[in-house]
Amino acid sequence: MTTANNTSQLDQWLNRDYEHGFSTAIESDTLPCGLNDAVIRQISAKKNEPDFMLQWRLKAFAHWQTLKEPQWATVRHPVIDYQAISYYSAPKFKEAPKSLDEVDPELLRTYEKLGISLKEQEILSGVAVDAVFDSVSVATTFKDKLAKLGIVFCSFSEAVQEHPDLVRQYLGSVVSYKDNFFASLNSAVFTDGSFVYIPKGVRCPMELSTYFRINAVATGQFERTLIIADEGASVSYLEGCTAPMRDENQLHAAVVELVALQDAKIKYSTVQNWYPGDKEGRGGIYNFVTKRGVCRGARSKISWTQVETGSAITWKYPSVILQGDDTVGEFYSVALTNHYQQADTGTKMIHLGKNTKSTVISKGIAAGHGHNAYRGLIKVMPRAEGARNYTQCDSLLLGDQCAAHTFPYIEARNASAQIEHEATTSRISDDQLFYCQQRGINPEDAVSMIVNGFCKAVFKELPMEFAVEAQKLLGVSLEGCVG
């Protein structure tokens, strides 16, 4: 097999169309474009929120107005007009659905096309799904089963109504409304999201999951997720994203907050496959996400796993603040950028407690004109005796127009800290391909093997349900290139 041939096969998969590109015709209850105090009051009123929420939103908005959009990331995009976005869009129902049977069948078909039929999932897979369609949660399953254990798993708006004390205590305690430009914006206008509370000593018996969809034209989606694992609790949470094909750019600025108290464990996995834009880089989702967890109690653990294949722009740094002693933070990531996609992603590990440990494994794959950047911070504070970090960030380059960058910041202020950072950048070498072919493996399989091997360290961290989807996603991307 010649290089020319390989290139054409590469091109084939690089040029594949977005598989999940379709949109659902559902009437939306949408606010007009624009953002001001009145809009925020309206959002809050529509959601029937208590006053503390409104005040918090207004404070966030006031702060946001003093901020400028950050320019430090290696992403390029036209200026976003925040006044041209509608900040609220809810699917309209004749009445609130009480069970899946009452859910708009059009909506259910959308999920089916994505291969996540709620019904099927409810019956067969045993996964509780809190499906978010645009901004309002439309169906929540398995609630009863979880309720028996005292687990709260509901939409954010429901949590505000039902558990205002928990929300008040933890909202903004990890990502404050002053945190950054996009987090402030989110705090002001977020419409819905998921809320999870695992009580003391409870191990959540199933994987919790949310599927996000962006549907209505020109609506930004501002999700807010808050997960609290009380002492000794453990939970695994899955987040998956697919979005229909759209021409104009859509903005998504989510915030995810995780709180792990003493001995608690939280595992947060993401597969993100939003519309990446077409081959010329038109359209696609702008994904500006703030994700952060805090290991507040001793011996707690937070683990982020992400597979990022979608979005025109991905800007996200899932982080862990290792506050308690003996806490553990992990970050496993595969980010694929193709065509004109840009990803600036990585993690922050802030070591505060004694004997805290963190592991960072990041795999970036850049193809076509894709730009892929790893940006990470490992910070060891003076009191973090015995802190330990291992970071590995590798990039694989496919095609001569793509770019891969690495910006690892390491700040060590404790002599007993042990920090290691390793990174490599390369393409699939002719030697590797030759070696495989020499042993009777055809080039397509060889490329597949090498790419899969490249990402293996991350995939093995995904829960079963997601590992399949992630491999499928990458497989789709590799099709044509690998037989």
Partner 1 sequence: MATKTLTGLDRLLNDYKPTIYPQLNKMQSDALLQLKEKGLPSLRVEDWKYTSIEAILNQEFHISKKNSLPSFSEADFLFSHFKGPRLVFINGQFSPDHSKLDSFEKGLRFKTLHQALEHSSESFKKYFGKIAKPISTSLLPLNTAMMQDGYCLEVAPNTILEQPIQVIYIQTADQPLALYPRNMIILGENSQARMIEHSWGYENQHFVCAVTEIVLEAGAQLKHYKIQQEAKTAYHLAGIYVEQQGDSQFISQAINLGAVLSRQDIEVDLAASGAHCTLNGLYVLDGHQHHDTHSRIDHRLPHGTSREYYKGILKESSRAVFNGKVIVHPKAIKTDAEQYNKNLLLSNDAEVDTKPQLEIFVDDVKCAHGATVGQLDPEALFFLRSRGLDEQMAKTLLIDGFMADIFDAMQWPEIEAILKTLLVIPHSHPGPFII
Cα separation, 55 vs 42, in Å, equals: 13
Smallest distance, Å, CB 320 to partner 1? 19
Smallest distance, Å, CB 104 to partner 1? 46
Smallest distance, Å, CB 368 to partner 1? 11
User: Which string of x and - marks every residue 67-96 that binds partner 1 (by CB under 8 A)?
Assistant: -----x------------------------
Beta-carbon-side half-sphere exposure of residue 272 (alpha carbons within 13 Å): 31
Binding to partner 1 by residue 386, rule CB under 8 A?
no
Residue 181, phi-psi category: left (phi > 0), alpha (psi -120 to 50), beta (remainder): alpha
DSSP code at position 124 = I
What is the three-class DSSP state of 477?
Answer: helix
What does the radius of gyration of the chain's CA atoms come to, in whole angstroms? 22
**Would you say 106 or 422 has its CB closer to partner 1?**
422
Smallest distance, Å, CB 378 to partner 1? 9
Torsion of CA 433, 434, 440, 443, to 10 degrees: 40
Q: Name residues contacting partner 1, limited to 394-453 (CB under 8 A).
A: 395, 397-427
**Would you say 248 or 422 has its CB closer to partner 1?**
422
425, 397 Cβ separation under 8 angstroms: yes
**Would you say 146 or 393 has its CB closer to partner 1?**
393
Smallest distance, Å, CB 441 to partner 1? 22
Ranges of beta strands (E only) in 179-295 are: 194-198, 208-213, 224-229, 234-242, 250-252, 255-260, 265-273, 285-295
Q: Which of 70, 382, 453, 483 binds partner 1 (CB under 8 A)?
A: 382
* CA 385 from centre of chain: 32
56, 171 Cβ separation under 8 angstroms: yes
184, 135 Cβ separation under 8 angstroms: no
**Would you say 93 or 407 has its CB closer to partner 1?**
407
**Would you say 408 or 480 has its CB closer to partner 1?**
408
Q: Name residues contacting partner 1, limited to 203-222 (CB under 8 A).
A: none
Q: Which of these, 304, 334, 268, 318, lies nearest to 475 by C-alpha position?
A: 334
What is the three-class DSSP state of 362?
Answer: strand
Smallest distance, Å, CB 404 to partner 1? 5
Amino acid at 422: E
What is the three-class DSSP state of 167?
Answer: helix
**Would you say 306 or 372 has its CB closer to partner 1?**
372
What is the three-class DSSP state of 324?
Answer: coil
Q: Which of these, 367, 365, 432, lies nearest to 399 by C-alpha position?
A: 367
Smallest distance, Å, CB 376 to partner 1? 10
Residues with Cβ within 8 Å of residue 12, at least 6 apart in sequence: 480, 481
Interstrand relation of 224-229 and 194-198 (parallel, antiparallel or unpaired) = parallel
Smallest distance, Å, CB 6 to partner 1? 12
Tell me the two tokens of residue 4. 């020319």
Smallest distance, Å, CB 281 to partner 1? 16
User: What is the total count of residues that contact partner 1 (CB under 8 A)?
Assistant: 35
Smallest distance, Å, CB 389 to partner 1? 9
Smallest distance, Å, CB 292 to partner 1? 21
Tell me the two tokens of residue 145. 């089963």
**Would you say 208 or 419 has its CB closer to partner 1?**
419
Torsion of CA 376, 380, 385, 387, to 10 degrees: 10
Q: Which residues bind partner 1 (CB under 8 A)?
A: 72, 380, 382, 395, 397-427
